[in-house]
Homo-oligomer: A and B are copies of this chain.
Amino acid sequence: MTRHVLKKRSKKAGLPPGSLVHIGEQKTDVMKFSVLDYDEQNCSETILSRIEQCFVYRDRPSITWLDIEGVHDIHALEKIGQCFGLHPLVVEDILNTDQRPKIEDYGDYLYIVLRMLTNGSEKGEISSEQVSLILGENFVLSIQEGAKGDVFDSVRTRIRSSKGQIRKLGADYLAYSLIDAVVDNYFIILERIGERVESLEETLISDPGQETLHLIHNLKREMIYLRKSVWPLREVVSGMQRRDSILIRESTGYYLRDVYDHTIQVIDTVETFRDMLSGMLDIYLSSISNRTNAVMKVLTVIATIFIPLTWIAGVYGMNFKNMPELGWRYGYLASWIAMIFVALGMVIYFKKKKWW
């Protein structure tokens, strides 16, 4: 994936800043603009058919949440930028869907980038998409790449049903709720990974193979990837807390501290998985080497027992004229006894040394 993005990214080299080029895969066919406009009493929902309609919501006293799915229509995003007075660099960043989480203060509004995780395939591999939030005085824009799942549904439901305090509080609380939804979603992803780690652990004990090694390495790589999505988030949330922006009310501070705690928990869990996977790699390597050694040991023991026996047999297979033992009556029997004696001696010796 990294390379995919690098390819697109490197194509953009040389364009002036603020050039609007969509970097990343197009994840949806048609862009969708849904508006949720609410205050404590009222709540109206609209799907915009033409992007120009967004200008209606510009100076309303009520809180407007414009949720956009899809980022490939550069023209539409440019219009939105004009409508809400966004800096060209913000619109450019919305289009570049390989941003790491960050927060930027543009005075009138905050620009927040998050990464939403989804379980891409049945194998459980994680893919991520960019979620841009713009928090203005009484509006919130959320721009998603157009994922399969939508973690914002729960927030939408809460607004519609006026559940909790969300209708009573401002745009900053809405922004918090959206961030919280994204972070909460991480726990679901982590649970899946936890299952995979656990099943890998069982395989490791029952039947480790070359395959196990690749699984461990794949999980390790995903952890690196996950870590990269989550670590900067910590700074984003603590940045929101510390920030003396007038856009964030003091009462929202407690809630941000709560999200911050969740972020730390996510990071902690990711680190724990990393530690576990490192330990598993050690166990894998030492169990592989243990197994091979066990094989070699037993085999060598067998070989070592028979080599002296073969030598004894060889001695009495010599054709010297003058070999008195050959004529003895119990010579053959004696040779058997000697061989059994030698074999038993070695077996006892090996047993005593616990080599067998």
- Listed in ascending order, the chain A residues whose CB lies under 8 Å from chain B are 2-3, 6-7, 9-10, 12-19, 87, 89, 92-93, 98-100, 102, 104, 106, 151, 153-154, 158, 163-166, 176-177, 180-181, 184-185, 187-188, 190-191, 194-195, 198, 210, 213-214, 217, 220-221, 224, 228, 254-255, 257-258, 261, 264-265, 268-269, 272, 275-276, 279, 281-283, 285-290, 292-293, 295-297, 299-304, 306-311, 313-323, 325-332, 335, 339, 353, 355
Are A154 and B299 within 8 A (Cβ)?
Answer: no
Task: Decide yes or no: A321 and B331 within 8 Å by CB, A7-B191, A187-B13 being known contacts.
Answer: yes
Task: Decide yes or no: A228 and B290 within 8 Å by CB, A191-B6, A257-B104, A276-B221 being known contacts.
Answer: no
Q: Which residues of B contact A279 (CB under 8 A)?
A: 217, 220-221
Q: Which residues of B contact A321 (CB under 8 A)?
A: 326-328, 331
Q: Which residues of B contact A323 (CB under 8 A)?
A: 319, 332
Task: Identify whether the interface residues of A are mostly helix, strand, loop, or mixed.
Answer: helix
Copies of this chain per assembly: 5
Q: Which residues of B contact A177 (CB under 8 A)?
A: 16-17
Q: Which residues of B contact A283 (CB under 8 A)?
A: 213-214, 217
Closest-CB distance, A226 to chain B (whole angstroms): 12
Are B317 and A318 within 8 A (Cβ)?
Answer: yes
Are A255 and B17 within 8 A (Cβ)?
Answer: yes
> Which B residue sits closest to A315, measured CB to CB?
B313
Q: Apart from A221-B276, A314-B317, A322-B330, list 11 A-B contacts with CB within 8 A.
A: A13-B185, A17-B255, A18-B165, A89-B257, A100-B265, A220-B279, A288-B289, A303-B303, A306-B308, A319-B323, A321-B328
Task: Decide yes or no: A255 and B89 within 8 Å by CB, A184-B14, A224-B272, A319-B316 being known contacts.
Answer: yes
A325 to B323, CA, bound (A): 13
Are B3 and A194 within 8 A (Cβ)?
Answer: yes
Are A187 and B10 within 8 A (Cβ)?
Answer: yes
Are A313 and B322 within 8 A (Cβ)?
Answer: no
> Which B residue sits closest to A193, measured CB to CB?
B6
A165 to B17, CA, bound (A): 9
Are A258 and B316 within 8 A (Cβ)?
Answer: no
Are A290 and B210 within 8 A (Cβ)?
Answer: yes
Closest-CB distance, A356 to chain B (whole angstroms): 9
Are B14 and A181 within 8 A (Cβ)?
Answer: yes
Are A195 and B313 within 8 A (Cβ)?
Answer: no
Are A194 and B2 within 8 A (Cβ)?
Answer: yes
Are A6 and B187 within 8 A (Cβ)?
Answer: yes
Are B3 and A195 within 8 A (Cβ)?
Answer: yes
Q: Which residues of B contact A221 (CB under 8 A)?
A: 275-276, 279
Are B154 and A258 within 8 A (Cβ)?
Answer: no
> Which B residue sits closest to A281, measured CB to CB?
B282
A320 interface neighbour in B18, B297, B335, B339, Cβ under 8 Å: B335
Task: Decide yes or no: A299 and B300 within 8 Å by CB, A187-B6, A282-B281 being known contacts.
Answer: yes
